[in-house]
Structure 1
Amino acid sequence: MHDHFTSHAADLSGPRSFPSIADGFALGGDYSPEQWPEEVWQEDVALMRRAGVNSVNLGVFSWGLLEVADGEYDWGWLDRAMDLLHENGIGVNLATPTAAPPMWLLQAHPEIATVDEFGVRTSQGGRLAWSPSSATFRRFALRFVRALAERYGSHPALRLWHVSNEIGNENARCYSDETALAWQSWLEARFGSIDALNQAWGTAFWGHHYTSFSQVLPPRHARTSHNPGLLLDFERFTSDALLGHYLAERAVLREVTPDIPITTNFMIMNNPGVADYRRWAEEVDLVANDHYTIGADPERHGELSFSADRARGVAQGRPWLLIEHSTSAVNWQPVNRAKSAGELARNSLAHIARGADGALFFQWRVSAAGSEQFHSGIVPHAGADSKIYREVEALGAVLRAIAPVAGSTVERARLGILFDWESAAAWRSGNKPTRSIGYLDLPLALHRALTRRGIAAEVVRPQEGLDGFDLVLVPTLYLAAPGVAEQLGEFARAGGHVLVSYLSGIVDDANRVITGGYPGAYRDLLGVRVEEFYPLFEGESVSLDSGATATTWTELLRAEGAEVLARYATGELAGHPAVTRARVGAGSATYLSAGLDAAGIQSLVDDLVALAGVAPVADVDEGIEVTRRRSADRSYLFLINHTGEDLEARASGTDLVSGAVHSGVVSVAAGAVVVLEEAAR
């Protein structure tokens, strides 16, 4: 195995605790002074101070401007920018700009670039072109990181190291010969013997039997589909290889600057991606996440809330940082619509309500040139006399007003949603019964239904334990990790309630189908046996006798000890069970075999929370998103009105935003946010 994939010494591993990177909540974003004449910088810092900016990400793509030739450095402009920011009381999250290899390095060593599945090497002109398995790239990157740390490690502006940028975004997978060697070493370490690999992957199919690890290549283009076990392990390898690069940079930074916290920006949003962020979170000092809403989604605030809860789950409940989001439109969606008035504040405060201790934007000043010239920023092309800048300025005032909330944590929910990166990777690894169901579809739909009722949820990894929950949802958890079925059984027997959905427990850790009937891992718990899948075609739907409608998925299901709650009323499966519930000790296990529409999901959620006795965070009108954060002696209720109508919440306390005191009823104006410091209870 290559040296750069070996573990680091114990004193360099794991997260550490540090003070917050800012007083109160962090506000700011990516700052790129190198894109502008220096006479603009004075205006920048004046506008930052006016808006309440206290934290910027600096130098994210500046490698080629700092190391202008091999071993030749020009630090002058960054020295001046660091000094200027410090003089104005603005903290710096200094990036190791290794996301963007310099042109001289790409041309001198084209072998550092990724190679796609067709064997085509990435050319210069984009970003994140480097292969995580490239020893040459690693050598140059670490040399630069050391030089950067030695120059700025003691600078008074430095608050946080920001390693690279969105590692794995554009360089998610590489299929080069150098990657193949690293992949083979990884497989040997994982399996120990080639016979064990053959057994796990079932390589007898199509005659793919291997006699040595050197025969196992990355899943390059082969015209037909690859083995699902190989694909899943290549996803695992890719996550580890990318993490390996972060760990290598972290080791240098910790050696040179042991007192500065270190992170890298995750991408916990609508695509599970190639990185197992729950594992990555164990290696950062502060979980930092990027999030961008999808403009075409009319309920995009619902996806935002689910992503924020996922970020909190990755951080295991600790405060985290929203290190990137947008003030308004992005530039990479089919239609890049500007955000509505007030949406910027609601988006920012929804992340904060769900555990973030800051909201930073990409970027400070919108670029006039380059690939992202129409991606919004705090200072748009129109300048500070603009809706966007005024809204950021107003947000800064709100964050100062609610500063006492910083450092508190979100109140632990009594309901858990099991979500696992490896399960998502298994679902996308190989051909499946349908392409119309995304791994996030049902978890997001359930989370939306819960949020609509004011009910909080924790998004947790299956192996992390179920203590403190009354209800656990297991939506499309395709891969059954060892021990999870037993854990769910113990939870139900002790009085907990479980919902398991279709496409859960189908394969084992090697992506092999668990035979004997679906859902293989959870059959005994649920008291059901599925014989066959009946996915629905686009535009097709069937009715249940409960009044619900299935639009994506149905199954030929047999109840073997479970009570039938609903049956299919139309279609080929008319008369067969669709939803069942088994008594398990003092609790229950419900099985959902149908891909229900939104109304059907809402009805199911309402039934389950009533059964489990899960209460809402507070009594609020539908349309108010409600979350509670707690400190040692205070509680703070966030009330976010996503509608165009004035709504109410039944609560008492002082609104930190307006100063108003409420007793019994809180009016939340259309599109507004109330942060209530609750009366002592």
Structure 2
Amino acid sequence: MSEKTIDRSWIRREPGATPRLEYGADYNPDQWPREVWDEDVRLMRRAGVTVVSLAIFSWARIQPAADVWDFEWLDDAMDLLHANGISVDLATATASPPPWLTTAHPEILPVTRTGETVWPGARQHWRPTSAVFREHALRLVDAVATRYADHPALVAWHVSNELGCHNIYDYSDDAAREFRLWLERRYGSVDALNVAWGTAFWSQRYSAWEQVLPPRLAASHPNPTQQIDFKRFSSDALKDYLVAERELLRRITPEVPVTTNFMIMNETNGMNYADWAAEVDFVSNDHYVLPGEQSRDELSFSANLTGGIAGHRPWFLMEHSTSAVNWQSVNLAKQPGELFRDSLTHVAHGADAVCFFQWRQSAAGAEKFHSGMVPHAGEDSDLYRDVVRLGETLRDLAPVAGTSVTPARAAILFDWESWWASEKDSHPTQLLRFRAEALDWYSAFLDAGVRVDVLPSAASLAGYDVVVAPVFYLMPQDTADALRAYVEGGGHLVTTYFSGIVDENDHVWLGGYPGALRELLGIRIQEFGPLLEGDTVALDNGTSGSVWTDRIDLEGADALVRYADGPQSTRPAVTRNTVGAGSATYVSTRLGPRGLAPVLAEVLELAGVESELPEPLRGSVELAVRGSADSEFWFLVNRTAEPVRIDGIDGEVIVRSVRDDGPALGSREVLVLRRPVTSTD
């Protein structure tokens, strides 16, 4: 079969199989005696489990010595799962090298920025650029893929696990050598590198490639462009490893789709997943909630961004937690309703699989206090009963399977390189947090009851009436040109403090800030005004700002809001410039979701974007929409801890949460309605 005719966009199913939402977990049978496995599959069937990720950390079991292989246990597990109607997303098992390999080849171990070796004892102790590691890992991949290529349980390949979670930045000699080669491909010559890195500063000029190093421990701040390029290189190095495994798997099993679990969540930022997405057959993601005021919105934001990276096609939620995790300073159990709400929020934003780490909670090891689908308390537990109920709910949601996320009229752009670059050292403030500002805007949209898509920065802006580009510090000319074309064409752009400041090499756009966006925004800033931690400034619309202020001079823009006190008192705080058929708004301080509300309301009104929700639901309920040619599925997610009456929305109930006192969306719960597609003719 020609590769062009192979559809690997989702896990393999039997021809003619009824679409469904997949449900399951990481499964680690090698942690348990054989008699437990039969109990596992019984409980899986009761819970409605359809797929498990298998053998993720099993390298030492599969290959206990360099020339010794043990597949009998894995054969048994694969056969048992298949006999019970459970599919397998089979891992290549390369995530953690076994002790025999690190003993024989300690040169595969990563090295920290300060020169310390990362020793075995945990996981992911390997260098992404190690040729020795790759040789042994690909040998394992070849053996696993060859053995199970025709196994009927196999529906997808799971490359490694959470690539870069612990080893994204390696400063070893292997990394230094590969970094130089990467730089030579990027710049072509040492002279071009010197220009890009600005090495005239601090006598850093290089005269030969072998002089160039990763940004190891230095006497002061390492070269800023060197730091950004090392982040780019590190992401590319792991992507190259992913591709190496993928290509071997495709050669052996061309019809089996390949994925790997991204970590689009919280502050995980080392891997440029927008760049990686094209290298997998379908996008998968792991997500874990951090406690805090915006924790529920952050989950929705991450799910939304995952859907945006997936091109609004269905994606696989590979891991989240049924309850507590083990790696936070305080590990809180989930409240009633959170398991249901968290899972279905991912589905609302495009997940066609809901899976957990892990199936059975471990009895030993570092993750023994991380929750599972079967907790330490066993089958007779509230948690397992909730797991069974969730499986029933996902079966009820089968009509949603295969549908795409319906695009919103507003978008928030997300740029990994601006994230990396904006939070470096030697900047006006170390208090700025790129993702926090983006999340503030997302929460402000949810508070207004307005759907918004979260998209990678290179995505098409066609069809979006409002686009927010927060903290776009790194602004190549082509990005600035695209934003200008968007505004001139009638779009309404909003950007924020510390945007448009530098080009792709971290060189300042001269002439005054915001550099590449000055003309579009119609403002000029001579000097930044960062705020000390804990300081705030009042604005004349009754809100207050933190982290940042700017001394803005108007050059065509209008002042919408001014500072009421502080060093910029009476100066513009929020501005708008009319350009072509559109507008460009600038917000010069961190306002938080509540402070952004009046600014956002003005922009939405100007763009003619309104909430699709009835007035009483706005802010309390999040709306996400998936759809097919003839139906839309409205996911209504209760953002609060109180019941919310659902009135004024028609549709067939697919999944509902109803309290005894009348139609209501219960605390932290979800309602899914099927509605006919409204004609736009």
Q: Partner amino acid for 1:81?
A: A
| Distance change (3 Å), C-alpha of 1:249 and 1:86 | same
- Of 591, 598, 612, 1:596 maps to 591
Q: CA, structure 1 residues 588+680, in 2 after alignment: closer, same or farther (shift >3 Å)?
A: closer
The equivalent of 1:52 in structure 2 is: 48
Query: Of 608, 617, 620, which residue of structure 2 is paired with 1:613?
Result: 608
Cα 1:219–1:680 shift into 2, 3 Å: closer
Separation of aligned partners in 1, 2:127 and 2:651 = 54
Question: Which amino acid in structure 2 is aligned with residue 304 of structure 1?
Answer: L
For 2:33 and 2:625, locate their aligned partners in 1 and report how far apart those are by CA, in whole Å: 45
CA distance in 2, matches of 1:20, 1:148: 18
Partner of 2:654: 656
In the TM superposition, what is the alpha-carbon distance from 1:269 to its structure 2 partner?
0.7
Tell me whether 1:67 sits opposite 2:63 in the alignment. Answer: yes
The answer for the alignment partner of 2:448 in structure 1 is 453
Which stretch of structure 1 is more off in the superposition, 22-31 or 224-233?
A: 22-31
8 Å CA contact retained: 2:657, 2:669: no
Please give the alpha-carbon distance, in whole angstroms, between the structure 2 residues aligned to 1:199 and 1:618. 53
Q: How far has the Cα of 1:15 moved from its partner?
A: 8.9
- The yes-or-no answer on 1:499 pairing with 2:494 is yes
Task: Note the C-alpha offset of 1:300.
Answer: 1.1
Shift of 1:666: 6.5
Structure 2 residue aligned with 1:647: 645
Contact 1:239 1:274 in 2 (8 A): yes
CA contact (8 A) 1:409 1:630 kept: yes
State the alpha-carbon separation in 2 of the partners of residues 97 and 188 from structure 1. Answer: 33
Alignment pair present for 1:138 and 2:134: yes
User: CA shift at 1:602, angstroms?
Assistant: 1.7
Deviations 1:447-491 (A, max 9, x none): 011112221212223332211010111110111033122222222
Give the counterpart letter for 1:212 in structure 2: A
> How far apart, CA to CA, are the structure 1 residues paired with 2:476 and 2:334?
40
Which residues of 2 match residues 144-293 of structure 1 at below 5 A? 144-293=140-289
Aligned to 1:632: 629
1:546 positional shift: 1.5
Unaligned runs of 5+ in 2: none
Q: Is the 8 A contact 1:641 1:647 kept in 2?
A: no
Residue of structure 2 aligned with 1:118, choices 94, 114, 119? 114
Q: Residues 324-358 of structure 1, C-alpha deviation per residue, up to 9 Å, x if partnerless? A: 00000111111100000110010000000011101
Q: Which shifted more, 142-151 or 21-30?
A: 21-30
Identical aligned residues as a percent:
49
- Return closer, same or farther for 1:11/1:530 CA change in 2, 3 Å cut-off: farther
- Residues 204-243 of structure 1 show CA distances to partners (whole Å, capped at 9, x for unaligned) of 1000000111110011111311011000000010011101
Which residue identity does 1:573 align to in structure 2?
A: Q
Q: How much has 1:13 moved relative to structure 2?
A: 14
How far residue 298 of structure 1 moved from its aligned partner, in angstroms, is 3.1
Residue 64 of structure 2 aligns to a residue in which SS? strand
* Separation (CA, whole Å) in 2 of partners of 1:120 and 1:668: 53
Question: Does the 8 Å CA contact 1:617/1:627 hold for their aligned counterparts?
Answer: no
Aligned position for 1:6: none
TM-score (norm 1): 0.95
C-alpha change, 1:165 and 1:649, in structure 2 (3 Å) is farther
**C-alpha deviations, 1:85-114, integer Å up to 9, x for none?**
000000000001111101000100000010
Answer yes or no: is the 8 Å Cα contact 1:60–1:164 preserved in 2. Answer: yes
Once the two structures are TM-superposed, the CA of residue 417 in structure 1 deviates from its matched residue by 1.1
* SS class of match (1:72): coil
* Structure 1 letter corresponding to 2:637: I
Could you tell which deviates more after superposition, 474-483 or 441-450? Answer: 474-483
Tell me, yes or no, if the aligned pair for 1:497 and 1:588 is still in contact at 8 Å: yes
1:514 and 2:512 matched: no
Could you tell me how far apart the structure 2 residues matched to 1:40 and 1:532 are? 66
Q: Is the 8 A contact 1:621 1:648 kept in 2?
A: no
Matched, 1:443 2:435: no
Match of 2:310 in 1: 315
TM (norm. structure 2) is 0.95
Q: Which amino acid aligns with 1:328?
A: S
| More deviation, 590-599/407-416 | 590-599
Alignment check: 8 A CA contact 1:24 1:404 kept: yes
Shift of 1:575: 1.3
What secondary structure is seen at the aligned counterpart in 1 of 2:221?
coil
Do the aligned partners of residues 328 and 588 (structure 1) sit closer, same or farther apart at CA in structure 2, a change above 3 Å counting? same
CA distance in 1 between partners of 2:7 and 2:265 (Å): 23
Instruction: Give 3-state SS (helix, strand or coil) of 2:165's partner.
Output: coil
**Aligned-pair CA distance for 1:388:** 1.2
Aligned-partner Cα distance in 1 for 2:317–2:513: 39
Q: What's the CA shift for 1:429?
A: 3.6
SS in 2 for 1:241: helix
State the match for 1:670 in structure 2: 667
Letter paired with 2:652: T
Q: How far off its partner does 1:630 sit?
A: 0.3
Contact 2:651 2:673 in 1 (8 A): yes
| Paired letter, 1:395 | L
- Once residues 351 and 10 of structure 2 are traced to their aligned partners in structure 1, the CA distance between those partners, rounded to angstroms, is 16
Distance (whole Å) between structure 2 residues aligned to residue 191 and residue 534 of structure 1: 35
Q: 2:379 — aligned with what? A: 384
Amino acid at match of 1:648: I
Q: Which moved more, 1:478-487 or 1:396-405?
A: 478-487
The one-letter amino acid paired with 2:270 is: V
1: CA distance between counterparts of 2:613 and 2:108?
54
Query: 1:633 Cα deviation (Å)?
Result: 1.2
Look up the SS of the partner of 1:116 in the other structure.
coil
Are the counterparts in 1 of residues 97 and 125 from structure 2 also a CA contact under 8 Å? yes
User: Aligned-pair distance for 1:649?
Assistant: 4.3
Question: Structure 2: how far apart are the matches of 1:536 and 1:106?
Answer: 48
SS state of the match for residue 440, structure 1? helix
Write the distance in 2 (CA, Å) between the matches of 1:413 and 1:554.
31
Q: Work out whether residues 423 and 430 of structure 2, in 8 Å CA contact, stay in contact via their aligned partners in 1.
A: no
Cα 1:174–1:19 change in 2 (3 A) is closer
Q: Deviations over 1:347-391 (max 9, x none)?
A: 000000011101100000000100101001100111111121111
Partner of 1:5: none
Measured in 2, the distance between the counterparts of 1:535 and 1:545 equals 19
State the distance in 2 between where 1:105 and 1:184 align. 27
Q: What's the counterpart of residue 555 of structure 2?
A: 560
Distance 2:136 2:307 in 1: 34
Q: Which amino acid aligns with 2:471?
A: T
Gaps of 5+ in 1: 1-9
Task: Give the Cα separation in 1 of the matches to 2:414 and 2:148.
Answer: 40
Give 1:16 deviation, angstroms.
4.0
TM-superposed CA distance for 1:186, in Å, is: 0.7
